[in-house]
Amino acid sequence: MSIIAADQAESTAQSTETTYQYVREAEGIFRHTATKWLHERPTINGKRTWKSLKTKNLKLAKEEFRRRRSAEDRGENPYAEKQDPPAAEEKKKAASLVGDALRCYDEDDCPDRNRKKRPALMLAAEKANVEILLPFWDAVIPDDITIALCDKYHDKRVEEITRGEGDRTVDLELNTLRNALRWGCRCELIKHMPLPEGWPRYHTGTAVHHCREFMAHDADEVHQIASHLFRHGKSRVLGFQFVFENNTGLRTIEALRLRTDAEPFTEGWISPDGKSLCVRRAKGQSNVNPFVAVHDGLKEWLEAHKRWKEEFYPDSPWYFPSPYDPSQPADISALGHALCRLRKPSGRGKKKQPAKIKRKIISHGCRAFYVTVRRSHGISDVQIGWELGHTSLGRTLADVYGGVPPHWLIGDGPKMSWLPTGKRVWAETEELERTKPTVN
């Protein structure tokens, strides 16, 4: 004879709620005598009913029973309808597109790997790359990213790029893509970074040019190039900046921070003995060597710069004031653009003038010039690296500025000078100003 069970208190008579027969297997768990499936009898919406535990195994049924009771204790409904699997998969797929990560990265102003704000120029470059990346990568699922897909993007972009071969440009754009995907992981848009074995690179080492290829050969050429900038009032500040960067090895962003009203041990302050100029290094190197040595060339520059600034920009606090707004420093790209213009012919028609300089000179070449002069005096790369703010024990200098002739290391170098053999560029300008006829 079968036992009709609802709970331990119920009678063993046939249930009036159902014609099926149940046998009690454990506390709150019952087996259907015909199908052998295990059930429970909860109260849902005020009505007692039967609910399958979806198993015939008593051990598994007990686990499911305890899971449901725990869910009720948390205030959850263990019998809620689960989302349709295809819909859930579609939602998961929609939330995992590369385009979502790119847009999130752009909307959050492209933070760096430490979640910090990027400098203005780098931020603008990252946002521009996002716009370029979106048409190709928008609908791609991160798990579908392969090296072959990156190759297809490279081939497509190389056809569109008109400047250079395009390999370096593609590498920079893919770097932005990796930054966006990393940010997507942090924002829980995607689960993990694709291509854990490594991303492809298209710009080969043989195509890399050391910046010393684009530096002045000696102090005479430094002042000869600066003389073209000194000929115009608004670009004279760039002439001073060009000579200064060659004499100090500072990056442009570091030079533009200097102030003539600097407090002690802040950017632009000169020590009482006149031998040290306080600076603040960029690229996280602010704690490495906060001073530049004032050698003979830099000493003359400081004296000339002081005379010029007191005459033309007495109220500006900056070493290199903007000629358009002296309350602000010169634009960070102004010197680079000026050097580029010197390589291009000027004027039109019969008045067209040849280029002022015959080869490419860049602002970062000033840093290479500083390294070369110091090496020519037998100074080791380890010391020069510390002078520039590096902590790599000279390895960075070899990678970026090329090797050093071995005989230079034993004091048999050319011992290049910081000063030209002829007149200083500012001396020529000051003499021209003194001899300029006055207008009544």
For residues 162 and 426, the model is more confident at 426
What CA–CA distances, in Å, run from 403 to 209, 249, 372, 418, 434?
13, 17, 10, 21, 45
Instruction: Put residue 356 in one of left, alpha, beta given phi > 0 → left and psi -120 to 50 → alpha.
Output: alpha
**Ramachandran angles phi, psi of 135, nearest 5°:** -55, -35
Which of 22, 57, 80 terminates a domain? The answer is: 80
Asked if residue 419 is part of any domain, the answer here is yes
Asked if residue 439 is part of any domain, the answer here is no
SS3 label, residue 241:
helix
Do 255 and 142 share a structural domain?
no
Q: Which domain holds residue 50?
A: 1-80
Average of per-residue pLDDT across 337-366: 84
Do 186 and 219 share a structural domain?
no
Q: What pLDDT, on a 0 to 100 scale, did the predictor assign at position 16?
A: 40
Q: What pLDDT, on a 0 to 100 scale, did the predictor assign at position 410?
A: 81
DSSP assignments along 370-433, one per residue: HHHHHHHTT--HHHHHHHHT--STTHHHHHHH----GGGGGT-S----SS-SS--HHHHHHHHH
Asked if residue 440 is part of any domain, the answer here is no
Q: What pLDDT, on a 0 to 100 scale, did the predictor assign at position 163?
A: 74
Asked if residue 173 is part of any domain, the answer here is yes
Asked if residue 85 is part of any domain, the answer here is no
Do 284 and 160 share a structural domain?
no
Spatial contact of 418 and 296, defined as CB atoms under 8 Å apart:
yes
Q: Which residues contact 314 (CB under 8 A, 6 or more apart)?
A: none
Asked if residue 116 is part of any domain, the answer here is yes
Cα separation, 58 vs 190, whole angstroms: 39
At residue 14, does pLDDT exceed 80? no
Tokens linked to 246: 């060659």
SS3 label, residue 62:
helix
Which of 208, 234, 264 terminates a domain? The answer is: 208
Q: What pLDDT, on a 0 to 100 scale, did the predictor assign at position 7?
A: 43
Which of 192, 208, 224 terminates a domain? The answer is: 208
Do 239 and 188 share a structural domain?
no
Do 384 and 267 share a structural domain?
yes
β-sheet bridge partners, residue 31: 23, 38
pLDDT tens-digit series, residues 285-327: 777 889 999 999 999 999 999 999 999 999 999 999 999 999 9
Residues of 66-78 as b/e, b for ≥16 C-beta within 10 angstroms?
A: eebeeeeeeeeee
Q: How far is CA 339 from the centre of its chain?
A: 26
Do 176 and 307 share a structural domain?
no
Do 273 and 390 share a structural domain?
yes
Do 284 and 413 share a structural domain?
yes
Do 369 and 235 share a structural domain?
yes
pLDDT tens-digit series, residues 199-226: 999 887 665 666 778 899 999 999 999 9
For residues 195 and 74, the model is more confident at 195
Asked if residue 22 is part of any domain, the answer here is yes
At residue 51, does pLDDT exceed 60? yes
CATH number at residue 102: 1.10.150
Percent of the chain with pLDDT over 90: 49
Q: What pLDDT, on a 0 to 100 scale, did the predictor assign at position 371?
A: 92
Do 201 and 218 share a structural domain?
no
Do 279 and 195 share a structural domain?
no
For residues 365 and 1, the model is more confident at 365
Q: What pLDDT, on a 0 to 100 scale, did the predictor assign at position 151?
A: 94
CATH number at residue 395: 1.10.443.10
Please count the structural domains in the chain.
3
Do 242 and 174 share a structural domain?
no
pLDDT tens-digit series, residues 54-95: 888 998 889 889 888 888 877 788 887 655 555 545 544 445
For residues 287 and 430, the model is more confident at 287
Asked if residue 86 is part of any domain, the answer here is no
Cα separation, 7 vs 243, whole angstroms: 95
At residue 8, does pLDDT exceed 70? no
Of 359, 320, 138, 120, which is closest to residue 234 (Cα–Cα)? 320
pLDDT tens-digit series, residues 117-127: 988 888 999 99
